[in-house]
Structure 1
Amino acid sequence: MATILGLLNLLLRALEFVIVIWVLMSWLPGAQQSSFGQLLGKIAGLVLNPLRRFIPAVGIIDFTPLVGLILLQAAEMGLRAIAQTMI
Structure 2
Amino acid sequence: MVLVIYALLSWMPGGYESGIGRLLAKICEPFLNLFRKLPLSFGPVDFSIMIAILALNFGGRIIYQLLWNLAVRLLY
Aligned residue type for 1:60: P
Give ranges in structure 2 of 5+ residues lacking alignment.
Answer: 72-76
| TM-score (norm: length of structure 2) | 0.85
**Higher-strand-fraction structure:** 2
| Same amino acid, percent of matched pairs | 30
SS of the residue corresponding to residue 26 of structure 1 reads helix
Q: CA RMSD in A?
A: 1.1
4+ aligned runs moved over 3 Å, structure 1: none
Give ranges in structure 1 of 5+ residues lacking alignment.
Answer: 1-16
Per-residue deviation, residues 17-67 of structure 1 (Å, max 9, x unmatched): 111001111111001111220110121112110110113421111100000
* Greater relative contact order (CA < 8 Å, ≥ 6 in sequence): 1
Equivalenced residue count is 71
| TM-score (norm: length of structure 1) | 0.75
- Alignment-derived partner of residue 27 in structure 2: 43
